[in-house]
Structures are given as C-alpha cells and as structure tokens.
Structure 1
Amino acid sequence: MPKFAANLTMMYNEYTFLDRFAAAAKDGFKAVEFLFPYEFPAAEIKARLTDNGLTQALFNAPPGNWEAGERGIASLPGREEEFKRSIQKALQYAAVLGNTKLHVMAGLIAAGEPRDRPRAVYLKNLEYAAKEALSHGVTIVIEPINTRDIPGFFLNRQDDAQAVCGEIGAPNLQVQFDVYHCQIVEGDVSVKLKRDMVRPNAGIGHIQIAGVPERHEPDLGELNYPHLFELVDALGYDGWIGCEYRPKAGTSQGLGWLNPYL
C-alpha cells in the first residue's frame, strides 16, 4: 500500500504554515514534506510534527537567493563554499526534524552556456553533500525538473540524474522521481520507474506526484495514477510519496483520490 506525504508548501495554503501540520493530520496524512524550513526554528517545526503524529519525509537544502530567482546552487561555479554551508545548515535541521531524505537543487544554467564546468562543480558538490550526510543517516536526492516550470534548470532527465549518481557512486545519493516533471519532459513513466528503481549505485530515493498538465490533484489530468501506485508497490518501493500539487479548489475537498489508500 503506498503511503503519502502532504506537501505543505503547495497544499493547505488556506492556513498559515505552522497550522498546516494539524490540517494534514486531520485529513489522514501520516507524513509531510515542504520546500524549506529555514524561516522557523527547527524545534518549533518539530513540535508541530510531534503534536500531530507526523513524520518529516523530506525538505530541500537552502537554494541560494530564492526571492531573486535562484533555484539551487549545486551546479554554480564560484559558490562552492556557500554550498558547503548550506548542506551543514540543512543537516542541522534534519537532525532535529528526523527526516532521512534531503533534496539538493541543481540550479539554473544560461541558454547556450557550456555544461562541462557546471557539471564538474555539480559532481564535486554532490560528492561533498553525500559524504557529509552519510554520518547523519541522510540520503541526498537530486531531482530532474522540467524547463516549462523552471526555465534553465540544469537537470531535466531521469537518465541524466541516474548517470550523475552512478558516476559519484555514493551509497546515499539517489534520484527524486517526480512523476509530474518526468511526464512533461519524457513520458513513458512506467518504463522509467521499472528501469530506475533498482539501479546499482543510484536508484529512486523519493517519489512525488501531481496531475499533468495543470499540477492539480493526481486524479485530474492525463496520468493513470492508480496504475502507477500499483506499479510502485510491485517494484518494492516503501518510501513516502510526496503530494507536490496545487489543489484545484480547497485542499481537503480535493482529497477524494486519497481515501482508498488511508
């Protein structure tokens, strides 16, 4: 049976952030994820998790200047020391919140910019992140993201992400398989899940879902999610599936798709 984590960045926007934990628990979620925790003390978020019986599934390492449009710094030459500090900060939060998965965003590359140097920086930074995270019991995950939602994002394809993980070869570096992004960029989702779930020195460490093309509930759009949930179960995936979608109307009102899995 698949198990789902509410994404509190996109879901439950009817509430202030710290009140979203209780709302998710009330609707039956047992875990949550979100983009970033850094606006709040880790202990304050931990209290919300504990009070509502929730597990923290995932959050992202600091992405650089998000408000200025940055979407990660792992592939940005000249930002290596900042990247190291960002990983240390993220691991400090993870130690309190208890999650064992940490997403590291690759960053943006200008159109026409050669990829060799950013890729070399990306590999070196991810090697550092995985090494630092290993002693904390944390797995680093990297996510291919479509360039319709984030133009210029450095990492877009599942095979490229798997190749990066395979080249580094760290036991705690895997791919975050976002079905929404994969469908937009590549399609053929079932085949890629089968291909990548058990790759040596890589594999799939976290899954996220949303309807395609509008990024609403997973029962809206072109994908057959009941089939994909059965497939993920059959492949032996036992991690959380993050619900990273924008509710079409109210969050709770759109959760009919979840009832069979509670």
Structure 2
Amino acid sequence: MPRFAANLSMMYTEHDFLDRFAAAAKDGFQAVEYLFPYDHPAAEIRKRLDDNGLTQALFNAPPGDWGAGERGIAALPGRETEFRTEFAKALEYAAVLGNDRVHVMAGIVPADADHARCRSIYLENLAYASASAASHGITVLIEPINTRDMPGYFLNRQDEGQTICRQVGAANLKVQFDCYHCQIVEGDIAKKLERDFAGIGHIQIAGVPERHEPDIGELNYPYLFDVIDRLGYTGWIGCEYRPRGGTSEGLGWIKPWLKR
C-alpha cells in the first residue's frame, strides 16, 4: 500500500511553516518532506516531528542562492568547496531530523556553458556526497526536473539520471522519480517505473499539467499506485503539489488509500 508524505513547502501554506507539521498529522499523514529546513534550528523541527508522531522523509541540500534564482550548485564549476561545506550542513540536519534521504539539486546551467565540464563536476560532487553520506546511512538523490518549470536545469530525463548514478557507482546514489516532471518531459511513466525501479530512491506525485492534487489532470494515479505496489516499493511517496484551495479540503483523493 502506498505510504504518503505531505510536502510542507507546497501543502498547508495557509499555516506558518512550523505549524504545518501539526496540520499534516491531523489529516492523517505519517511523514513529511519539504525543500529546505535551514531557516529553523534542527532541534525545533525535530520537536515538531516528535510532537506529532511524524517521520522526516526527505529534504534538499542547500541550493546556493535560492532568492537569486539558483536551483542547486552540484553541476556548477567553481563551486566545489561551497558544495562540500553546504552538503555537510545537510548531513548535520539529517542527523537530528532522522531522514535517510537527501536530494542534491544539480543547478541551472547557462546555455553557453561547457556541458562536458559541468557533467564532470556534477559526477565529482555526487561521488563526494555519496561517500560522505554513506557513513551516516543516508541515500543521496538526484532528480530530473522539467524544463518548462525550471528552464536550463542540468538534469531533465530519467535515463540521464540513471546513467549518472551508474557512472558514479555509489550504492547509496539513486534517482528521485517525480511523476509530474517525468510526464511533462517524456511520459510513459508506468514503463519507466518498471524499467528503472532498482535505481529509484524516492517517488513524488502531482497532477499534470497544473501541479494540483493528483486526482486532477492527465495522469491515472490509482493505476500508477497499483504499479508502484506491484513493483514492491516500500518508501514514502511525496505529495509535492499545490492545492487548488485549502489543503485539507482537497484531500478527498487520498482517503481511499489511507483506509486500505
């Protein structure tokens, strides 16, 4: 049976961030994820998790200057020292929060960049991150992201992500399979889940094309949930969508799955 984690960066935004944990637990979620925890002390977030009986499923390593439009630095030449320092911060937070997944964002690369050089740096940084995370029991994730929402992002396709993981060769480096991004870029989601299942470390969902609840749009999620179950996936499925209205009011889609 699918296990769902509320993404607190997109869901429950009608509440202050630290109040979203209680709201998610009240609606029946047992786990949460979000983009970044770094605006709050790790101990304070851990308290919210413990107070509400929640598991921390995932968060992202620091992405560079998010406010200036950066979306990761792992594939950006010249930022290697910064990447290592910031990834260490992610491991410090994970040690307190208890999650065993950290997503590393590749970054937006200019059209005229030397892509071979960017790829080389990306592989080096991922090898370093995976080695650093291994002693903590943490899996490093990379995520193909669609070019409509994030033009210029370095990694866009599932097969590219799987190839990079194989080239790095670390057992704790896997692909974060976001059904929303995959559908926009390439489609054929069920077959790609089947093809790449051994290399998938986390799954996320949202309706396509508007990124609302997964019961709206062109994807048949009940079918995909059955596929995911059949494949034997036991991890969390992150609900990384923007509710059309109030978050709680839009959760009718999940109730049949919580009852199974």
Q: TM-score category by the smaller chain?
A: over 0.9
How does the TM-score come out when normalised to structure 1? 0.98
Residue 179 of structure 2 is matched in structure 1 by 179
CA distance, structure 2, for counterparts of residue 226 and residue 112 of structure 1: 42
> Is 1:227–2:236 an aligned residue pair?
no
Count of matched residue pairs? 258
Residue 214 of structure 2 is matched in structure 1 by 218
> Is 1:251–2:254 an aligned residue pair?
no
SS state at 1:193 partner: helix
Higher mean Cα deviation, 131-140 or 109-118?
109-118
C-alpha deviations, 1:44-85, integer Å up to 9, x for none? 000000000000000000000000000000000000000000
Residue 104 of structure 2 is matched in structure 1 by 104
Given candidates 187, 200, 205, the residue that maps to 1:204 is 200
Identity %: 71
SS state at 2:68 partner: coil
The correspondence of residues 46-57 of structure 1 with structure 2, limited to 5 A, is: 46-57=46-57
CA distance, structure 2, for counterparts of residue 260 and residue 94 of structure 1: 32
CA distance, structure 1, for counterparts of residue 75 and residue 113 of structure 2: 12
The correspondence of residues 52-201 of structure 1 with structure 2, limited to 5 A, is: 52-198=52-198
User: What is the Cα-based RMSD across aligned positions, in Å?
Assistant: 0.5
C-alpha deviations, 1:196-251, integer Å up to 9, x for none? 002xxxx0000000000000000000000000000000001100000000000110
Letter paired with 1:91: L
CA distance, structure 2, for counterparts of residue 68 and residue 115 of structure 1: 22
Q: Which segments of 5 or more consecutive residues in structure 1 lack a partner in the other structure?
A: none
In the TM superposition, what is the alpha-carbon distance from 1:112 to its structure 2 partner? 3.6
Letter paired with 1:229: F
CA distance, structure 2, for counterparts of residue 111 and residue 184 of structure 1: 21
In the TM superposition, what is the alpha-carbon distance from 1:113 to its structure 2 partner? 2.6
C-alpha deviations, 1:151-200, integer Å up to 9, x for none? 100000000000000011101000000000000000000010000002xx
Q: Which segments of 5 or more consecutive residues in structure 2 lack a partner in the other structure?
A: none
CA distance, structure 1, for counterparts of residue 71 and residue 146 of structure 2: 13
> Is 1:16–2:16 an aligned residue pair?
yes
In the TM superposition, what is the alpha-carbon distance from 1:114 to its structure 2 partner? 2.9
In the TM superposition, what is the alpha-carbon distance from 1:111 to its structure 2 partner? 1.6
SS state at 2:102 partner: strand
How does the TM-score come out when normalised to structure 2? 0.99
CA distance, structure 2, for counterparts of residue 254 and residue 164 of structure 1: 37
**Where has structure 1 moved over 2 Å in runs of 4 or more?**
none
CA distance, structure 2, for counterparts of residue 53 and residue 113 of structure 1: 46
SS state at 2:254 partner: helix
